[in-house]
Structure 1
Amino acid sequence: MERTQPAGYLHTGLDRYEVFDFQENGLGELKSFIKSKKLPFSFHVPFFRPSYFPYIGVTTFFLNDDPNKRTLSFKLIDNTMYYAKEWKADFVVTHLTWKDDSPDRKNAINLANDTRLKFCDLADRYKLPINIEFGGYSGHFHEPEQFVDFVSDHPLLGICIDIGHTSLISGIRNRNFFKDVETMAPYTKSIHVWNTKGMEHCKKYNHVPVHPSQKAKDGWIDIKKTLEIILAHNKNCNIVFEYNHTYYDNIPGEVKEGMDWVKGIVNRK
């Protein structure tokens, strides 16, 4: 199949960065930048896109019926964990679910249980936390309680609540978004922050930078309320702004206003 172009995102967070889906030949410049900042950082699987994985970076096959595709995803997270340890990243984030999950509920649950055991082994072997990003646009593994069960028995496993995706999934699953967030909040270790007005809006604009001017009455996610729910359970969550661009140090004024607004919310907790 034709290889898709790596995204190459270095996402800015609150006093941190998160690396996602770089090309291998760009790693030298990336490492120099991160070292110069002297801030903590995390890796989002894939850290870089190796030649054996031609799919878009967010693709995962952990719950896929094809054992060869599952092997690809396990190889990819192992590769990311290896480099995270070598570069001294403080944790790794991975998707668990994707659009090609098993259509059979029993098999999907069995695959999730097997994946959990393998993630526990990876975390122990590399002595690095793994944050499982909440997902579930399709398939049978999409309930907050399932993600809680996945991480709750191992101290190095936690949940990454992606605010935008969680809202969209709650909507298509006819659930209460804030109840979903509340369920996962005690087990949440990191947060991806961006905003949207819904599925069609997201298809058009993708990850919109948050800003205090975005009001829930106009269809936006209530970012402040969402953060307050999560931070009430864990005020030390790592926060990453997952936007459509890599800014490095050239953050546009309006984007920075939104980042500073979030920082104010966090500091009040």
Structure 2
Amino acid sequence: MSTAVLADRDDFEALLAYRPDVVEFYGYPATALPRIARFCADHGIRPALHTPVPHDGVPPRRFAPTGPDRREAAAALRLTEATVRCAADLGALHVVVHFPSPYPPYEEAGFEEASRDFLSATAALAREHGVAVLIENLSAHPLLRTPEQYHRALAAHGELGLCLDLGHAHLLGADSGAPAGFAALFGPRIRSMHVYETTAERYPRYGHESADRGGTPAEGFMGLSELLPDLLRRTRPAALVMEHEPVRPGNEPAAADWLRELIHHHDAGAIV
């Protein structure tokens, strides 16, 4: 589970309704780390981290690893380093890093160099600390968003895996060949997936709906009950992380039970 599902980000106990094996903590300050460690230890949960964890108490307004503002790029690398170090201390399953910068203007000048510099530094952090660092695909930047573009960008950085965000891939449109295109190119290098349902028409206001909502491709949804088994056969990720928006209290287990049944039926071997 991602802490994105929490209506109250500090109410970790609410996650227990999903019976999670893994919780991906996103955007918590340093002061929350002892409570995160205690919660996971008390309930037999493996933590995972989504950059930035920790931050200094004020969440960064933007996470822009490729700039074009060099100060923002440097700040993003510092936050990534802090998260990787924290993951090593916590024994986290992985670290997820948004990449590239999703904000306009999308300037071509300097973009390739900035991408290479950030990925090289992040790969070095993964090696140094023995942490699985996963680059998360985004859908905004025209120079780096398709499966082919990510595959080229990560070709020289074998230490880095991919967190396949299914919604971000789906929002590229049917002509992009994603998310199946990511699975075809990356295979088992996809170590985790962010699982939720979405449509272009409902994004971003209702952009992260529960995976078991039952939407069909004809309605613009992914149709996860048909799509996920094929993706899992191609990739066999270590974890599927449910990243839907908060649901009505009492409905929490439904989506997790749906996903567990799908995994069990197809014997994919992933954990939720």
The alignment's TM-score, normalised by the length of structure 1, stands at: 0.82
Report Cα offsets for 1:98-120 as digits up to 9, x if no partner.
33366332521221112221111
CA distance change for structure 1 residues 237 and 224 in 2, over 3 Å: closer, same or farther?
Answer: farther
CA distance change for structure 1 residues 78 and 256 in 2, over 3 Å: closer, same or farther?
Answer: same
Q: Which moved more, 1:152-161 or 1:258-267?
A: 152-161
Contact kept, 8 Å, 1:132 with 1:157, in 2: the verdict is: yes
Report Cα offsets for 1:184-225 as digits up to 9, x if no partner.
441211000111122x41222231111153333333211123
Could you tell me which runs of 5 or more consecutive residues in structure 1 were left unpaired when the two chains were aligned. Answer: 1-6
Q: 1:195 aligns with which of 197, 203, 210?
A: 197
Once the 2 structures are TM-superposed, how far is the Cα of residue 253 of structure 1 from its aligned partner?
4.6
Report Cα offsets for 1:156-196 as digits up to 9, x if no partner.
3111111111111x12x952334433334412110001111
CA distance change for structure 1 residues 67 and 163 in 2, over 3 Å: closer, same or farther?
Answer: same
Any residues of structure 2 matched to 1:88-167 within 5 Å, and which?
A: 88-100=91-103, 103-167=106-170
Contact kept, 8 Å, 2:211 with 2:244, in 1: the verdict is: no
Q: Once the two structures are aligned, what percentage of the paired residues are identical?
A: 19
CA distance change for structure 1 residues 261 and 194 in 2, over 3 Å: closer, same or farther?
Answer: same
CA distance change for structure 1 residues 211 and 179 in 2, over 3 Å: closer, same or farther?
Answer: closer
Partner of 1:243: 244
**AA of the residue aligned to 2:119:** R
Cα RMSD after superposing both structures: 2.7
> Secondary structure of 1:196's match?
coil
Report Cα offsets for 1:40-80 as digits up to 9, x if no partner.
2210001133257631xxx3222112221111001000111
Could you tell me which runs of 5 or more consecutive residues in structure 2 were left unpaired when the two chains were aligned. Answer: 1-7, 268-272
CA distance change for structure 1 residues 222 and 180 in 2, over 3 Å: closer, same or farther?
Answer: same
**AA of the residue aligned to 2:198:** T
**AA of the residue aligned to 1:257:** A
CA distance change for structure 1 residues 13 and 111 in 2, over 3 Å: closer, same or farther?
Answer: farther
Does residue 1:30 correspond to 2:36, yes or no? yes
Partner of 1:258: 255
Does residue 1:39 correspond to 2:36, yes or no? no
- For residues 88 and 182 of structure 1, the distance between their equivalents in structure 2, rounded to whole angstroms, comes to 27
The alignment's TM-score, normalised by the length of structure 2, stands at: 0.81
Any residues of structure 2 matched to 1:54-65 within 5 Å, and which?
A: 54-55=60-61, 59-65=62-68
Report Cα offsets for 1:105-152 as digits up to 9, x if no partner.
252122111222111111111111110001131341112122223334
Contact kept, 8 Å, 1:192 with 1:239, in 2: the verdict is: yes
- For residues 258 and 217 of structure 1, the distance between their equivalents in structure 2, rounded to whole angstroms, comes to 22
